[in-house]
Amino acid sequence: MNNKPAILLIYTGGTIGMVKDFKTGALRAFNFNQLVERIPELHLLDCAIETYSFDVPIDSSDMQPDLWVQMASIVEDNYDRFDGFVILHGSDTMSYSASALSFMLENVHKPVILTGSQLPIGDLRTDAKENLITAIQIAALQENNTPVIQEVCLYFEYKLYRGNRTSKVSAELFNAFTSPNVPHLAESGVNLRINHSLLLQKPLSLPLTVHKKMSRNVMILRLFPGIQQQVLEAILAIPNLEGIILETYGSGNAPTEPWFLETLRCATQKGLKVINVTQCSSGSVMMGKYETSTELKEIGVISGKDITTEAAITKLMFLLAQPDIVDFKLAFETPICGEMEV
């Protein structure tokens, strides 16, 4: 009998599997089987790996909610046959996908680890091999026949992060991701160090429930000094707009000019969900701390607390598609799977 952990390696695209087009010099996706051939080390891992490739691998700049549904469905369809899932994904939108999947895969008890690379796998100085091999090793970790990691994570450059806490912060460095408000869950050095106290654990009795609807009637508005009334009005007049992530200053502060607050008030009264997320790369929204955010609280703006913009927009898309939410503000301000402080 084969007791090796079974891992499903899902290839969606991204630099990791790209080659240079000699005519244009641009990177483009190529055949996944060739990718596996380029890493003979995969055969040395103490797990049974099967692969699944998107028919048309994409640069992750083309990521769409439909493709999140496809990824979630692949995990769902193969959930009983595999002990863990590694998703190869372009780094550009990896934090969005990791966040979206964390909400869509409710009660996941097996590791779903997204990884990719800054350089293609065939490049001499590639970071792809380490990222891929260690992500698979982490996905295969078990204690008492139970997966150690039971959530959606992102592995990059020696660190395992909670997926919905990450942001891509560098287009240049191998160390491209950060998790500003929650420490990494594991670090790979000479040994693999797992920070067990940070890992999410849900009762095994709760079954995996896969949510496949995401609203696209959303948008992100980043405030800047000098923003004009007509800009805000035009955005809030977008037909069918249901929710907006408002990227504010510091601990959730915004202009106090009457036109700004009145325009927002009208929108929230008509049912638009407005989520306050800070532009700062770390820290939390605290509406009411300064006068410049007191009014936002009064007009029903929802606190994103210390959530990232990537997790905020995907949580908004997710919650707006849930049919039975009575108190949307409460639902948004309540953590679902570690994406915000309690």
**C-beta pairs of 196-202 under 8 Å, 24+ apart in sequence:** 198/162, 199/148, 199/149, 199/150, 199/151, 200/150, 200/151, 200/162, 200/337, 200/338, 201/150, 202/107, 202/109, 202/150
Nearer to ligand ASP, 126 or 303 (CB): 126
Rounded to a whole number of angstroms, the minimum distance from the CB of residue 94 to ligand ASP is: 7
Residue 258, class by beta-carbon neighbours within 10 Å (0-12 exposed, 13-18 middle, 19+ buried)? exposed
Applying CB under 6 A, the span of 56-64, 186-194, 202-210, 279-287 interacting with ligand ASP comes to 56-64
Q: List, in sequence order, every residue forming a beta bridge with 177; answer none if it has no partner.
A: 168
Under the criterion CB under 6 A, does residue 163 sit at the interface with ligand ASP? Answer: no
Rounded to a whole number of angstroms, the minimum distance from the CB of residue 139 to ligand ASP is: 19
Under the criterion CB under 6 A, does residue 167 sit at the interface with ligand ASP? Answer: no
Find the binder of ligand ASP among 31, 33, 34, 61 (CB under 6 A): 61
Rounded to a whole number of angstroms, the minimum distance from the CB of residue 9 to ligand ASP is: 16
Applying CB under 6 A, the span of 87-95, 124-132, 198-206, 249-257 interacting with ligand ASP comes to 87-95
90: helix, strand or coil: coil
Residue by residue, DSSP assigns 171-198 as SS-S--EE-TTS--SEEESSSEEE-GGG
Rounded to a whole number of angstroms, the minimum distance from the CB of residue 58 to ligand ASP is: 7
Choose the catalytic residue: 15, 134, 309, 314.
Answer: 15
Among positions 7-26, residues that touch ligand ASP (CB under 6 A) are 13-15
To the query of whether residue 146 is one of the catalytic residues in this protein, the response is: no
Tokens linked to 201: 């654990």
**Strand order, beta sheet including 84-88:** 48-58, 6-13, 84-88, 112-115, 152-156, 159-162, 186-188, 192-194
278: helix, strand or coil: strand
Considering CB under 6 A, how many residues would be counted as binding ligand ASP? 11
**What letter does residue 157 receive in the DSSP assignment?**
T
Nearer to ligand ASP, 47 or 121 (CB): 121
Among positions 96-155, residues that touch ligand ASP (CB under 6 A) are 116, 118
Among positions 245-284, residues that touch ligand ASP (CB under 6 A) are none
Sign of the alpha-carbon dihedral angle for 173, 160, 14, 218: negative
Applying CB under 6 A, the span of 89-97, 107-115, 222-230, 288-296 interacting with ligand ASP comes to 89-97
Rounded to a whole number of angstroms, the minimum distance from the CB of residue 93 to ligand ASP is: 6
H or E, element range at 152: strand 152-156
Find the binder of ligand ASP among 83, 92, 157, 242 (CB under 6 A): 92
- List residues binding ligand ASP (CB under 6 A): 13-15, 59-61, 90-92, 116, 118
Point out the residues that are catalytic: 15
